[in-house]
Amino acid sequence: MTISSRIATVVAATLWLATGAAAADDSYPSRSVRFIVPFPPGGPSDLLARPLGAKLSEAWGQPVVVENRTGAAGMIGTDVVAKSPPDGYTMGISIAADALTVALYPHMPYDALHDLKPVCTVSISPFILVAHPSLGVHTLDQLIALARQKPGQIGFASGGIGVPSHMAGELLKWRAKIDLIHVPYKGQGPATADVLAGQVPLMFINTMNGLPFVHDGKLVAIASSTLQRLPTAPEIPTMAEAGLPGFDVSIWFAILVPAATPDAIVHKIAAAFQKVLAQPDMRALQAAQGADPLFEGPDAVAKRRDTEIVKWREVVKAANIHPE
């Protein structure tokens, strides 16, 4: 996203909040709010939701209780949100507003496009394509050349089938026309451990976990996954600069509520998140995790989600992925 488009997004979001927040029920929230995290404790969603929940508790004077409801690629927890009373007292955090699950799973326990209402985005984080030094590559051109010399012999690790790091690897395979072998793990932790050990030579890793290993020389940074270079590591080229124009993959997080939640309540929740995200300590916390606060209102979230569904459906089809 360009600077001008970010400014336009912020202006639009501010106008949206100004017109809607004033109409919100002044009594909301009058009791505790459930904040559903559909992934295990300690993961990116959980590490983001807990400080956000604490800040909302302070702002509202009501408990915001973070609850981990895990399983089925995040669908179990998100299903809880979708089927909760639409009164603003249950909300959830989602990776890419369910765009990946919609693209991957034809049969879901809820309708992500009609049973859920986006509130806002709260964070965005890029990946770095890293290689173990033993692979002997330092640039994307070198990797592509080696992969074409050894089709089906070079593996890339991920935290599981259908997670963003897996899909980034599939997008690389499709766009570069190379044959890499996907090696899924039960979470990013064990995947990272095996890449560090040289058991699997490649991985798309989030910046928080990956940059320390790059700086220590334990991993080689080939390229970052977004269109703009990383502010924390400007020496790393983007995938687009390295030879794959338009390559753009990030982890972005959105807040969702049941679809029938009144707009006035949605406005009030969004306004609270916008204020929290602007606080210096929250910005510093996200920066330490290799992420950027990102606030977009419901319409922008829906547009971002719909664009990604189209992209990932193309990748799923091209890669012939069948997670079920």
pLDDT digits (tens, 9 = 90+) for 205-253: 988 789 899 999 999 999 999 999 988 889 999 999 999 999 999 989 9
Let me know: does 117 contact 256? Beta carbons within 8 Å.
Answer: yes
What whole-number percentage of the chain has pLDDT above 70?
A: 92
pLDDT digits (tens, 9 = 90+) for 248-275: 999 899 999 999 999 999 999 999 999 9
> What is the arithmetic mean of pLDDT over 108-112?
94
80 CA to centre of own chain: 20
Q: How confident is the model at residue 4 (pLDDT cuts 50, 70, 90)?
A: very low
Nearest 10 degrees: Cα torsion 229, 231, 236, 239: -20
d(CA 99, CA 113): 9
Specify the DSSP element, H or E, that contains 65: strand 64-68
Q: Which phi and psi angles does 80 have, rounded to 5°?
A: -60, -45
DSSP for 227-277, please give it. Answer: SS-BTTBTTSPBTTTTT-TT---EEEEEEEEETTS-HHHHHHHHHHHHHHH
Amino acid in position 110: Y
Lowest mean pLDDT among 21-35, 100-114, 124-138, 181-195: 21-35
Pairing of the two strands 250-258 and 181-184: unpaired
Per-residue pLDDT at 25: 61
Per-residue pLDDT at 324: 59
Q: 38 preceded by cis ω (within 30°)? A: no
pLDDT digits (tens, 9 = 90+) for 176-186: 999 999 999 88
Helices 140-149 and 164-176 cross at an angle (nearest 10°) of 70
The closest alpha carbon to 271, from 57, 20, 71, 91, belongs to: 20
> What distances in angstroms separate CA 218 from CA 131, 199, 215, 263, one per listed residue?
9, 13, 8, 49
Set out the domains of the chain in order of their start, with CATH numbers: 3-125+250-319 (3.40.190.150), 129-224 (3.40.190.10)
pTM over 0.85: no
The closest alpha carbon to 53, from 276, 275, 219, belongs to: 276
Q: Residue 170: left (phi > 0), alpha (psi -120 to 50), or beta?
A: alpha
Tell me, letter by letter, the H, E, C secondary structure of 115-153.
CEEEEEEEEEEEEEEEECHHHCCCCHHHHHHHHHHCCCC
> What is the arithmetic mean of pLDDT over 272-292?
91
Collapsed DSSP state (helix, strand, coil) of residue 26: coil
pLDDT reading at 40 higher than 80 = yes
Per-residue pLDDT at 18: 45
Pairing of the two strands 250-258 and 220-224: unpaired
Mean pLDDT for the chain overall: 90
First-to-last C-alpha distance (Å) of the chain: 34
Q: How confident is the model at residue 198 (pLDDT cuts 50, 70, 90)?
A: very high
Per-residue pLDDT at 22: 40
